[in-house]
Structure 1
């Protein structure tokens, strides 16, 4: 997503191509490393050849994820070029996989807008371009992943113990399960792929995992709050008053969505002996992370969008694009994205 904060530069400089390239290469390395770990073949350290061979297994994930991030950010960038607004190329943010952190190898990417956006049309175009472009890649990754699933018994290479159990067992305790969004459910019904893994094994399948992450990131960017991409779209479509009302309603919604599991987690920290009613049902309908997101969004982004140009309504074509973005948000929003079962 772009950073819309603005500081008047003392002087203009050329693009720092070496820095952008270095960050891209570093992020390629860290996402490849993370991809190998998530796929189930962590890089071996016994020999350089073994390390390189196992690292290659992470390339499908890293290239897929970087394709999504790159297309998303360049969607924003080319929109700034169209409106002749000075902006940087994408800054990729590498994150090495750490033992204590479930890292995907990156914190994402960002472009920086170097001058104020004085047109509501320009604000809309820049805000909408990234999610639309990135969603196309995420959708393509999911479709490709569904259509090119490996043989069902390939999971035994990662979990040889499953063969002795006669197949993939119910989720073991303390297992990470990814949640389904509407798009995932629809594609699952339409394509009806054979050998589709359960959601607690999905991260072993790089194209599906990268496509799922692309949807998750798209939905986060399209949250209709503050100066997120979704906030810009809502502001441009419905004006400042409409933006503020929708932002407040959505913050209330995710607060309600996250409250049950958040309260349960706090009670368990206070006294582990406290019995939580229907814990399995609770983790399937509520994610405590939404409470943290609601706090961050309210505290740092707020519910008021700064004035950007006149209040002249958008054209019919742009309004249609805005409603398409709203539909994409509905399709990609995951009420419970992560759960430990």
Structure 2
């Protein structure tokens, strides 16, 4: 396969960029989570006879992640909604399982310190509900006036949840777009448009960073191509899994992942006056 040397090179560069940012524990845990996500897509594609590339990891040696994730490109049309659904949902579910595992292991290696001892330059995170639930199960109630200093493995799990939420956004050719199209067919376009509007409002009032994602999605196109068989609906089992994917998105999403760096476009323009 001609892409193998490039895939290996990009994986190595991504290992280096994440290692330089967060150390060996963070790099290993995050690449394991991202690899599980992409392997989920790859295996589902193969099971449905859809040719696809190996994953291309994207190194990005800058905070806060050290990478922009990974992508897989399909080389053939999707045959039907069943295949579209399975390929779309396999990645997020596989990544979620490894993310939760990393969070659980990492939290056991994390430690509590009084709020007054937290360094001023510490990066503060806005935890999605999924992370908070796992933290509650592992650590119990955090004492008042204390904060959890995350081990790099726990942070990798947090990043994994964030990546899962991003991919499950019901827009275009994101994983969530695949799932939504498989569920609703051409009616999913309404959901795509509403999701774009939601991101714009989030960028306007909470976190201007979402504007970059909106521009990217509009640039590559937020419409979804139809599979070859666009008439046969999903079975009941897959419809239930689709609802579960929506629940996972809600539990994994946070509009202001880094609250100290978050500012809505409205406030930003007001300050610039």
**Short-chain TM bin:** 0.7 to 0.9
Aligned to 1:256: 201
**CA-CA distance at 1:195 after TM superposition:** 7.2
Q: 1:290 aligns with which of 210, 230, 234?
A: 210
Q: 1:247 is matched with which residue?
A: 192
Equivalent in the alignment of 2:134: 187
Which residue matches 1:110?
71
Tell me if structure 2 keeps the 8 A contact 1:223–1:231: yes
- State the 1:220 CA deviation: 0.4
2:102 maps to 1:141? yes
Q: Secondary structure at the match of 2:89?
A: helix
**Alignment of structure 1 residues 76-95 onto 2, 5 Å:** 76-95=41-60
Question: What are the equivalent positions in structure 2 for 1:209-224 lying under 5 Å apart?
Answer: 209-224=155-170
Deviations 1:247-275 (A, max 9, x none): 12222222222212xxxxxxxxxxxxxxx
What is the alpha-carbon distance in structure 2 between the residues aligned to residue 295 and residue 93 of structure 1? 19
Matched, 1:64 2:34: no
Question: Any conservation in 2 of the 1:85–1:113 contact (CA below 8 Å)?
Answer: yes
Give the structure 2 partner of residue 22 of structure 1.
9
TM-score by length of 2: 0.85
Change over 3 Å in CA distance of 1:16–1:248 after alignment to 2? closer
What RMSD over aligned residues (CA atoms) do the two structures have, in Å? 2.4
Note if contact 1:141-1:210 (Cα within 8 Å) is conserved in structure 2: yes
Instruction: Provide closer, same or farther for how the CA distance between residues 145 and 175 of structure 1 changes in structure 2, counting only shifts above 3 A.
Output: closer
CA contact (8 A) 2:104 2:135 kept: no
CA contact (8 A) 1:31 1:104 kept: yes
Contact conserved, 2:80 with 2:232, CA < 8 A, in 1?
Answer: no
Long gaps (5+) in structure 1: 1-13, 36-57, 154-165, 261-285
Size of the aligned set, in residue pairs, is 258
1:312 aligns with 2:273: no
Shift of 1:29: 2.0
Please list the CA deviations of residues 18-74 of structure 1 after superposition, one character each: whole Å capped at 9, or x if unmatched: 332222222222211111xxxxxxxxxxxxxxxxxxxxxx11100000001111001
Q: Deviations over 1:93-143 (max 9, x none)?
A: 223x3xxx4253322111121111131111111111100100101111111
Determine the C-alpha separation between the residues in 2 that align with 1:178 and 1:169. 17
SS in 2 for 1:178: coil
Q: Is the 2:108–2:139 Cα contact (8 Å) retained in structure 1? A: no
Distance 1:289 1:306, change over 3 A: same
The structural deviation recorded for 1:175 is: 5.7
Q: Secondary structure at the match of 1:288?
A: coil
* CA contact 1:176–1:339 (8 Å) conserved in 2: no
Please say if residues 65 and 159 of structure 2, whose CA atoms lie closer than 8 Å, have aligned partners that are also in contact.
no
How far apart in 1 are the matches of 2:56 and 2:76? 17
SS state at 1:114 partner: coil
Return closer, same or farther for 1:290/1:78 CA change in 2, 3 Å cut-off.
Answer: same
What is the alpha-carbon distance in structure 2 between the residues aligned to residue 65 and residue 81 of structure 1? 24
